[in-house]
Protein backbone atom coordinates (compact mmCIF):
# COMPACT_ATOMS: atom_id res chain seq x y z
CA UNK A 1 0.00 0.00 0.00
CA UNK A 2 1.11 3.51 -0.77
CA UNK A 3 0.94 6.58 1.42
CA UNK A 4 -0.68 9.57 -0.26
CA UNK A 5 -1.30 12.05 2.54
CA UNK A 6 -4.59 12.29 4.40
CA UNK A 7 -7.34 14.78 5.04
CA UNK A 8 -5.68 15.61 8.37
CA UNK A 9 -2.17 15.89 7.08
CA UNK A 10 -0.71 17.75 4.13
CA UNK A 11 2.11 15.73 2.60
CA UNK A 12 4.21 17.25 -0.16
CA UNK A 13 5.11 15.09 -3.13
CA UNK A 14 8.72 14.61 -2.00
CA UNK A 15 7.57 13.54 1.46
CA UNK A 16 5.21 10.91 0.04
CA UNK A 17 8.00 9.68 -2.18
CA UNK A 18 10.30 9.35 0.82
CA UNK A 19 7.75 7.40 2.87
CA UNK A 20 7.15 4.97 0.03
CA UNK A 21 10.87 4.65 -0.72
CA UNK A 22 11.63 3.75 2.89
CA UNK A 23 8.83 1.20 2.86
CA UNK A 24 10.14 -0.34 -0.36
CA UNK A 25 13.72 -0.49 0.89
CA UNK A 26 12.48 -1.77 4.25
CA UNK A 27 14.70 0.74 5.95
CA UNK A 28 13.81 3.18 8.70
CA UNK A 29 12.72 6.59 7.48
CA UNK A 30 14.80 9.22 9.21
CA UNK A 31 12.85 12.49 9.23
CA UNK A 32 14.62 15.67 10.15
CA UNK A 33 13.25 19.19 10.31
CA UNK A 34 12.57 22.13 12.57
CA UNK A 35 10.34 21.45 15.56
CA UNK A 36 6.68 21.73 14.61
CA UNK A 37 7.04 20.72 10.97
CA UNK A 38 4.90 17.62 11.36
CA UNK A 39 7.49 14.86 11.92
CA UNK A 40 5.71 13.10 14.76
CA UNK A 41 2.36 13.56 13.10
CA UNK A 42 3.73 11.99 9.91
CA UNK A 43 4.26 8.67 11.67
CA UNK A 44 0.77 8.80 13.16
CA UNK A 45 -0.78 9.62 9.82
CA UNK A 46 1.10 6.99 7.81
CA UNK A 47 0.24 4.33 10.37
CA UNK A 48 -3.42 5.35 10.29
CA UNK A 49 -3.48 5.51 6.48
CA UNK A 50 -1.94 2.05 6.16
CA UNK A 51 -4.12 0.65 8.94
CA UNK A 52 -1.19 -0.29 11.16
CA UNK A 53 -1.02 0.12 14.92
CA UNK A 54 1.65 2.67 15.90
CA UNK A 55 4.06 1.96 18.74
CA UNK A 56 5.72 5.13 19.99
CA UNK A 57 8.99 5.52 21.77
CA UNK A 58 9.65 9.10 22.88
CA UNK A 59 13.32 9.61 23.55
CA UNK A 60 14.64 11.70 26.44
CA UNK A 61 18.19 12.68 27.33
CA UNK A 62 18.31 9.78 29.80
CA UNK A 63 16.84 7.11 27.51
CA UNK A 64 19.05 4.08 26.89
CA UNK A 65 18.81 1.78 23.89
CA UNK A 66 18.34 -1.22 26.17
CA UNK A 67 15.05 0.23 27.45
CA UNK A 68 13.60 -0.21 23.98
CA UNK A 69 14.41 -3.93 24.13
CA UNK A 70 13.64 -4.91 27.71
CA UNK A 71 14.49 -4.13 31.30
CA UNK A 72 15.09 -6.46 34.17
CA UNK A 73 13.12 -5.27 37.19
CA UNK A 74 15.43 -6.40 39.97
CA UNK A 75 13.81 -4.13 42.56
CA UNK A 76 10.39 -5.79 42.28
CA UNK A 77 11.97 -9.19 42.40
CA UNK A 78 13.82 -8.37 45.57
CA UNK A 79 10.70 -6.91 47.16
CA UNK A 80 8.62 -9.93 46.20
CA UNK A 81 11.23 -12.26 47.61
CA UNK A 82 11.01 -10.51 50.96
CA UNK A 83 7.23 -10.18 51.19
CA UNK A 84 5.67 -13.16 49.50
CA UNK A 85 4.60 -16.57 50.72
CA UNK A 86 4.94 -19.88 48.91
CA UNK A 87 2.94 -18.80 45.90
CA UNK A 88 5.07 -15.69 45.55
CA UNK A 89 8.23 -17.71 45.87
CA UNK A 90 7.31 -19.52 42.67
CA UNK A 91 7.00 -16.20 40.93
CA UNK A 92 10.30 -14.96 42.27
CA UNK A 93 12.10 -18.08 41.07
CA UNK A 94 11.17 -17.42 37.48
CA UNK A 95 13.19 -14.48 36.22
CA UNK A 96 10.88 -14.13 33.21
CA UNK A 97 8.31 -12.56 35.51
CA UNK A 98 10.61 -9.62 36.00
CA UNK A 99 11.54 -8.91 32.41
CA UNK A 100 9.68 -5.82 31.22
CA UNK A 101 9.25 -5.68 27.46
CA UNK A 102 10.30 -2.52 25.67
CA UNK A 103 8.72 -0.95 22.60
CA UNK A 104 10.95 -2.82 20.13
CA UNK A 105 10.10 -6.15 21.69
CA UNK A 106 6.40 -5.33 21.48
CA UNK A 107 6.84 -4.39 17.82
CA UNK A 108 8.81 -7.58 17.11
CA UNK A 109 6.31 -9.94 18.72
CA UNK A 110 3.22 -8.40 17.12
CA UNK A 111 1.27 -10.81 14.93
CA UNK A 112 0.58 -8.12 12.36
CA UNK A 113 2.95 -5.55 10.85
CA UNK A 114 3.15 -2.41 12.97
CA UNK A 115 4.62 1.04 12.59
CA UNK A 116 7.26 2.04 15.11
CA UNK A 117 8.12 5.62 15.94
CA UNK A 118 11.44 6.46 17.58
CA UNK A 119 10.76 10.11 18.29
CA UNK A 120 13.48 12.75 18.71
CA UNK A 121 16.44 10.40 18.62
CA UNK A 122 18.82 13.37 18.84
CA UNK A 123 17.73 13.91 22.47
CA UNK A 124 19.59 10.82 23.64
CA UNK A 125 23.33 10.57 24.12
CA UNK A 126 25.65 9.95 21.22
CA UNK A 127 25.86 6.17 21.78
CA UNK A 128 22.13 5.63 21.54
CA UNK A 129 21.76 5.32 17.73
CA UNK A 130 24.79 3.03 17.46
CA UNK A 131 23.44 0.82 20.23
CA UNK A 132 20.34 0.13 18.17
CA UNK A 133 22.08 -0.65 14.87
CA UNK A 134 21.98 -4.38 15.14
CA UNK A 135 18.39 -4.54 16.32
CA UNK A 136 17.24 -2.27 13.50
CA UNK A 137 19.32 -4.10 10.90
CA UNK A 138 18.73 -7.71 11.85
CA UNK A 139 15.40 -7.21 13.60
CA UNK A 140 16.43 -9.45 16.45
CA UNK A 141 18.05 -9.28 19.88
CA UNK A 142 19.07 -11.59 22.66
CA UNK A 143 17.68 -11.64 26.18
CA UNK A 144 20.61 -12.74 28.34
CA UNK A 145 18.61 -13.29 31.50
CA UNK A 146 16.30 -15.86 29.90
CA UNK A 147 18.58 -16.95 27.02
CA UNK A 148 15.93 -16.15 24.46
CA UNK A 149 16.44 -14.83 20.96
CA UNK A 150 13.66 -12.41 20.06
CA UNK A 151 13.11 -12.17 16.31
CA UNK A 152 10.63 -9.88 14.60
CA UNK A 153 7.66 -11.74 13.16
CA UNK A 154 7.24 -8.88 10.70
CA UNK A 155 9.63 -6.08 9.95
CA UNK A 156 8.02 -2.96 11.41
CA UNK A 157 7.75 0.25 9.42
CA UNK A 158 10.19 2.40 11.37
CA UNK A 159 10.09 6.20 11.65
CA UNK A 160 12.91 8.01 13.34
CA UNK A 161 12.67 11.75 13.92
CA UNK A 162 15.35 14.26 14.77
CA UNK A 163 15.24 17.97 15.48
CA UNK A 164 18.87 18.16 14.41
CA UNK A 165 20.25 18.96 17.86
CA UNK A 166 23.04 16.44 17.39
CA UNK A 167 24.77 14.82 14.44
CA UNK A 168 23.95 11.14 14.02
CA UNK A 169 26.70 8.56 13.46
CA UNK A 170 27.53 7.56 9.87
CA UNK A 171 26.94 3.87 10.45
CA UNK A 172 23.47 4.69 11.63
CA UNK A 173 22.71 7.03 8.72
CA UNK A 174 23.79 4.39 6.24
CA UNK A 175 20.92 2.20 7.35
CA UNK A 176 18.19 4.80 7.01
CA UNK A 177 16.36 6.48 4.21
CA UNK A 178 16.64 10.18 4.87
CA UNK A 179 14.13 12.96 4.41
CA UNK A 180 14.37 16.58 5.47
CA UNK A 181 10.99 18.29 5.92
CA UNK A 182 11.60 21.73 4.55
CA UNK A 183 9.74 24.54 6.18
CA UNK A 184 6.42 24.80 4.28
CA UNK A 185 6.27 27.47 1.58
CA UNK A 186 3.29 29.84 1.79
CA UNK A 187 1.10 27.71 -0.49
CA UNK A 188 1.76 24.52 1.48
CA UNK A 189 1.23 26.43 4.71
CA UNK A 190 -2.09 27.64 3.43
CA UNK A 191 -3.10 24.04 2.71
CA UNK A 192 -2.04 23.03 6.24
CA UNK A 193 -4.07 25.84 7.78
CA UNK A 194 -7.05 24.83 5.63
CA UNK A 195 -6.90 21.36 7.11
CA UNK A 196 -7.07 22.73 10.64
CA UNK A 197 -9.42 25.68 10.09
CA UNK A 198 -11.56 24.78 7.08
CA UNK A 199 -13.93 27.75 7.36
CA UNK A 200 -11.36 30.47 7.92
CA UNK A 201 -12.11 33.73 6.11
CA UNK A 202 -9.82 34.30 3.14
CA UNK A 203 -8.81 37.83 4.15
CA UNK A 204 -7.92 36.80 7.68
CA UNK A 205 -5.91 33.83 6.42
CA UNK A 206 -4.02 35.95 3.90
CA UNK A 207 -3.26 38.67 6.45
CA UNK A 208 -2.25 36.18 9.13
CA UNK A 209 0.05 34.27 6.76
CA UNK A 210 1.65 37.50 5.59
CA UNK A 211 2.31 38.59 9.18
CA UNK A 212 3.54 35.14 10.12
CA UNK A 213 6.10 34.98 7.33
CA UNK A 214 7.21 38.53 8.06
CA UNK A 215 7.86 37.62 11.67
CA UNK A 216 9.54 34.38 10.65
CA UNK A 217 11.83 36.12 8.20
CA UNK A 218 13.08 38.71 10.68
CA UNK A 219 16.84 38.46 10.45
CA UNK A 220 18.54 37.26 13.63
CA UNK A 221 15.63 35.55 15.38
CA UNK A 222 16.75 33.03 17.98
CA UNK A 223 13.68 30.85 17.59
CA UNK A 224 11.64 31.17 14.43
CA UNK A 225 7.95 30.38 14.89
CA UNK A 226 6.89 27.21 13.08
CA UNK A 227 3.70 25.53 11.88
CA UNK A 228 2.39 24.61 15.30
CA UNK A 229 2.92 28.19 16.53
CA UNK A 230 1.04 29.56 13.54
CA UNK A 231 -1.86 27.20 14.27
CA UNK A 232 -1.92 28.23 17.95
CA UNK A 233 -1.87 31.85 16.96
CA UNK A 234 -4.74 31.44 14.48
CA UNK A 235 -6.76 29.65 17.12
CA UNK A 236 -6.28 32.61 19.45
CA UNK A 237 -7.09 35.15 16.75
CA UNK A 238 -10.35 33.34 16.16
CA UNK A 239 -11.16 32.88 19.85
CA UNK A 240 -10.52 36.56 20.55
CA UNK A 241 -12.36 37.59 17.42
CA UNK A 242 -9.46 39.76 16.26
CA UNK A 243 -10.50 41.72 13.15
CA UNK A 244 -8.47 41.50 9.94
CA UNK A 245 -7.72 45.19 10.22
CA UNK A 246 -5.65 44.54 13.37
CA UNK A 247 -3.29 42.45 11.24
CA UNK A 248 -3.01 44.80 8.30
CA UNK A 249 -0.92 47.87 8.77
CA UNK A 250 -2.06 50.87 6.74
CA UNK A 251 1.31 51.87 5.37
CA UNK A 252 2.76 48.48 4.45
CA UNK A 253 5.04 48.61 7.47
CA UNK A 254 5.38 45.80 9.96
CA UNK A 255 3.76 46.32 13.34
CA UNK A 256 3.60 44.15 16.44
CA UNK A 257 0.85 41.62 15.73
CA UNK A 258 -1.80 40.96 18.36
CA UNK A 259 -1.11 37.99 20.65
CA UNK A 260 2.49 37.89 19.47
CA UNK A 261 3.32 35.65 22.45
CA UNK A 262 2.01 32.72 20.44
CA UNK A 263 4.68 33.31 17.80
CA UNK A 264 7.75 34.67 19.59
CA UNK A 265 8.78 32.79 22.66
CA UNK A 266 11.68 34.69 24.10
CA UNK A 267 12.45 38.23 25.16
CA UNK A 268 15.47 38.67 22.87
CA UNK A 269 13.30 38.03 19.82
CA UNK A 270 10.63 40.43 21.06
CA UNK A 271 13.24 43.10 21.72
CA UNK A 272 14.68 42.54 18.26
CA UNK A 273 11.24 42.95 16.79
CA UNK A 274 10.57 46.16 18.72
CA UNK A 275 13.93 47.62 17.70
CA UNK A 276 13.13 46.95 14.07
CA UNK A 277 9.83 48.76 14.44
CA UNK A 278 11.56 51.73 16.05
CA UNK A 279 13.97 51.91 13.15
CA UNK A 280 11.05 51.85 10.74
CA UNK A 281 9.44 54.80 12.49
CA UNK A 282 12.75 56.60 12.49
CA UNK A 283 13.13 56.14 8.76
CA UNK A 284 9.76 57.59 7.95
Ligand X SMILES: Nc1ncnc2c1ncn2[C@@H]1O[C@H](COP(=O)(O)OP(=O)(O)O)[C@@H](O)[C@H]1O
| Residue ranges in contact with ligand X by CB under 6 A | 9-10, 33, 35-41, 161, 192, 195, 227-228, 231
Shortest distance, CB of residue 187 to Mg ion, whole angstroms?
23
Residue 37, binding choice from ligand X, Mg ion, none, Cβ under 5 to 8 Å by partner class: ligand X
Residue 162, binding choice from ligand X, Mg ion, none, Cβ under 5 to 8 Å by partner class: none
Alpha carbons 190 and 94: distance in angstroms, whole number? 58
Among 15, 22, 37, 40, indicate the residue that binds Mg ion (CB under 5 A): 40
Q: Which stretch binds Mg ion (CB under 5 A): 35-43, 124-132, 152-160, 182-190?
A: 35-43
> Does residue 37 touch Mg ion according to CB under 5 A?
no
Q: What SS3 state is found at 44?
A: helix
**Residue number, nearest CB to ligand X:** 38
Shortest distance, CB of residue 120 to ligand X, whole angstroms?
8
115 neighbors 107 (Cβ within 8 angstroms): no
Residue 28, binding choice from ligand X, Mg ion, none, Cβ under 5 to 8 Å by partner class: none
Closest CA to 28 of 102, 110, 136: 136
Alpha carbons 226 and 264: distance in angstroms, whole number? 10
Shortest distance, CB of residue 45 to ligand X, whole angstroms?
8
Alpha carbons 239 and 237: distance in angstroms, whole number? 6
Q: Which residue's CB is nearer to ligand X, number 49 or number 69?
A: 49
Shortest distance, CB of residue 40 to Mg ion, whole angstroms?
3
Residue 9, binding choice from Mg ion, ligand X, none, Cβ under 5 to 8 Å by partner class: ligand X
Q: Which residue's CB is nearer to Mg ion, number 150 or number 181?
A: 181
Residue 53, binding choice from ligand X, Mg ion, none, Cβ under 5 to 8 Å by partner class: none
Alpha carbons 224 and 232: distance in angstroms, whole number? 14
Shortest distance, CB of residue 33 to ligand X, whole angstroms?
6
Shortest distance, CB of residue 41 to Mg ion, whole angstroms?
8
Q: What SS3 state is found at 237?
A: helix
Q: Which residue's CB is nearer to ligand X, number 33 or number 129?
A: 33
Q: Which residue's CB is nearer to ligand X, number 42 or number 69?
A: 42
Q: Which stretch binds Mg ion (CB under 5 A): 34-42, 89-97, 110-118, 221-229?
A: 34-42
Instruction: Count the alpha carbons within 13 Å of 121 in the hemisphere toward its beta carbon.
Output: 30
The overall longest dimension of the chain from CA atoms, in Å, is 88
59 neighbors 119 (Cβ within 8 angstroms): yes
Ranges of H-type helices in 26-178: 39-49, 65-69, 74-83, 86-93, 103-109, 127-131, 133-138, 170-174
- What are the backbone angles phi and psi of residue 57, rounded to the nearest 5°? -125, 105
Amino acid sequence: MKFAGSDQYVATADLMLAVNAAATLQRPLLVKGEPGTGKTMLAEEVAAALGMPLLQWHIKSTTKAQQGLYEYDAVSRLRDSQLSGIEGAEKVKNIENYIVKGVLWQAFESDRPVALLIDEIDKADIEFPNDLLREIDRMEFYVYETRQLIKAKHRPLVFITSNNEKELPDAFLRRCFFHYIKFPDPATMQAIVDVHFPGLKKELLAAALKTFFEVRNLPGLKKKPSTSELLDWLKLLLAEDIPVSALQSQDEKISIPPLVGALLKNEQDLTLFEKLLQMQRHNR
